Amino acid sequence: MRIGITCYPTYGGSGIVATELGMELAARGHEVHFITYANPIRLDPGTPRVFYHEVEVSNYPLFQYPPYDLALASRMAEIAEWQNLDLLHVHYAIPHSASAYMARAMLHGKRRLPYVTTLHGTDITLVGIDRSYFPITKFSIEQSDGVTSISEYLRRETVEVFGVANEIRVMYNFVNCDLYRMAKEPHEGPPRLLHISNFRPVKRITDCVRVLALARRQVECELWMAGDGPDRGEAERLAFELGVHEQVKFLGKQNHIERLIPQTDVLLLPSRLESFGLAALEAMACGVVPVATRVGGVPELITHGLDGFLEDVGDVEAQARRVVELLTGGELKTRMRWAARDTAEARFCTSKIIPQYEKYYQEVLGR
**Interface contacts to ligand GMT, rule CB under 6 A:** 8, 12-15, 17, 120-122, 150, 173, 202, 273-278
- Given a contact cutoff of 8 angstroms between Cβ atoms, the answer to whether 231 and 237 are in contact is no
In three state form, how does the secondary structure of 280-335 look? HHHHHHCCCEEEEECCCCHHHHCCECCCEEEECCCCHHHHHHHHHHHHHCHHHHHH
Tell me if 268 sits within 8 A of 291, measured CB to CB.
Answer: yes
Give min distance, CB of 312 to ligand GMT, in A.
17
Q: Which is nearer to ligand GMT, 190 or 230 (CB)?
A: 230
Between 173 and 247, name the residue whose CB sits nearer to ligand GMT.
173
Q: How far is the CB of 158 from ligand GMT (least distance, A)?
A: 12
**How far from 273 is each of 37, 126, 301, 312, CA to CA, in Å?**
27, 10, 14, 11
**For ligand GMT, the closer CB: 348 or 361:** 348
Nearer to ligand GMT, 214 or 267 (CB): 267
**123: three-class secondary structure by DSSP:** helix
- Least distance in Å: CB of 48 to ligand GMT? 25
What single DSSP character describes residue 105?
H
State the minimum distance, in angstroms, from the CB of residue 18 to ligand GMT.
9
**Shortest CB 307 distance to ligand GMT, Å:** 17
Closer CB to ligand GMT, 31 or 231, in the complex: 231
Close Cβ partners of 29 (under 8 Å, ≥ 6 residues apart): 49
As measured in angstroms, the least distance from the Cβ of 111 to ligand GMT is: 30
How far is residue 124's CA from residue 128's CA, in Å, rounded to a whole number? 5
State the nearest-atom distance from the C-beta of 35 to ligand GMT, in Å.
Answer: 17
CA separation (Å) from 19 to 44, 75, 148, 341? 9, 18, 16, 23
Toward ligand GMT, which CB reaches closer, 134 or 338?
A: 134
* Nearest distance from C-beta of residue 13 to ligand GMT, angstroms: 3
Determine the residue type at 298. Answer: V
For the chain, give the number of residues. Answer: 367
Measured from the CB of residue 296, what is the shortest distance to ligand GMT in angstroms?
Answer: 6
Closer to ligand GMT by Cβ: residue 197 or 319:
197
Give DSSP secondary structure letters for 164-199: --S-EEE----B-TTTS---SSPPSSS-EEEEEE--
Would you say 13 or 191 has its CB closer to ligand GMT?
13
Nearer to ligand GMT, 13 or 114 (CB): 13
Q: Which H/E stretch holds residue 244? A: none
Three-state DSSP class for 6? strand
The DSSP 8-state label assigned to residue 227 in this structure reads: E
